[in-house]
């Protein structure tokens, strides 16, 4: 099913636009809204990533608005941990006053369980060395410093005969 429903509302001198699938109920109902509408959108994205489907979907704009504003997502056929379902239920709350804030979400047990370990003691150089070592095949040298005659020709516009070696490190190129 292709769902590409965009929505534009002009009300009380304000223009509201975006993709309806991600819009919070308070926006669709043309009520006052805050940054908590962004929390709702994060919940829609999280649900979609975890469940491989949208929590609300319909080809008709009116029915989609009705679902978003009055129905709850279906959590039953989804194989999610109880903490993941709880997080989604804290985010996808129709009433923005009852909806979790971004700070509350960051402290939720499901996110705390999946939080990456801090690596403040590592530098970008450490990461580059690790990446470089992961990119090498066992028993092979790095090819970062190897250069061919065609590479030199392309870079300099000169025709150079390197001879038998391809390494810039060796300094044995022949001009």
pLDDT tens digits, 86-125? 999 999 999 999 999 999 999 999 988 877 655 566 677 7
Indicate the range of 30-39, 61-70, 162-171 predicted with least confidence. 162-171
pLDDT tens digits, 128-137? 777 666 666 5
Q: Which domains does the chain have, with CATH numbers?
A: 6-113 (1.10.510.10)
The widest CA-to-CA distance across the chain, in whole angstroms, is 77
Q: What is the pLDDT of residue 83?
A: 93
H/E segment holding residue 58? none
Q: What angle (nearest 5°) sits at the alpha carbon of residue 147, between those of residues 141 and 149?
A: 140
Q: How far apart are CA 31 and CA 158, in angstroms?
A: 68
Contact 91, 85 (CB under 8 A): no
pLDDT tens digits, 9-33? 444 445 557 788 999 999 999 899 9
The residue with greater pLDDT, 154 or 52, is 52
Residue 102, both tokens: 């971004």
Q: What angle (nearest 5°) sits at the alpha carbon of residue 15, between those of residues 12 and 16?
A: 110
Residue 106, both tokens: 């960051």
Residue 153 predicted with pLDDT over 90:
no
* Percent of the residues in the chain that have a pLDDT greater than 70, as a whole number: 59
């Amino acid at each position: 099913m292709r769902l590409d429903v965009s929505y534009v509302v002009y009300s009380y001198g304000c223009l509201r636009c975006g993709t309806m699938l991600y819009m919070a109920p308070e926006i669709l109902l043309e009520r006052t809204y805050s940054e908590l509408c962004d929390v709702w959108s994060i919940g829609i994205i999280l649900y979609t990533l975890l469940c491989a489907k949208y929590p609300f979907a319909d080809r008709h704009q009116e029915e989609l608005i009705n679902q978003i504003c009055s129905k709850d997502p279906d959590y039953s056929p989804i194989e999610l941990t109880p903490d993941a379902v709880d997080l989604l239920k804290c985010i996808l709350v129709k009433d923005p006053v009852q909806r979790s804030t971004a700070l509350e979400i960051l402290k939720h047990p499901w996110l705390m369980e999946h939080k990456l370990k801090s690596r403040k003691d590592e530098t970008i150089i450490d990461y580059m060395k690790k990446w470089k070592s992961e990119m090498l095949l066992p028993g092979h040298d790095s090819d970062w410093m190897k250069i061919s005659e065609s590479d030199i020709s392309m870079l300099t516009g000169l025709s150079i005969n390197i001879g038998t070696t391809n390494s810039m490190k060796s300094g044995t190129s022949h001009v």
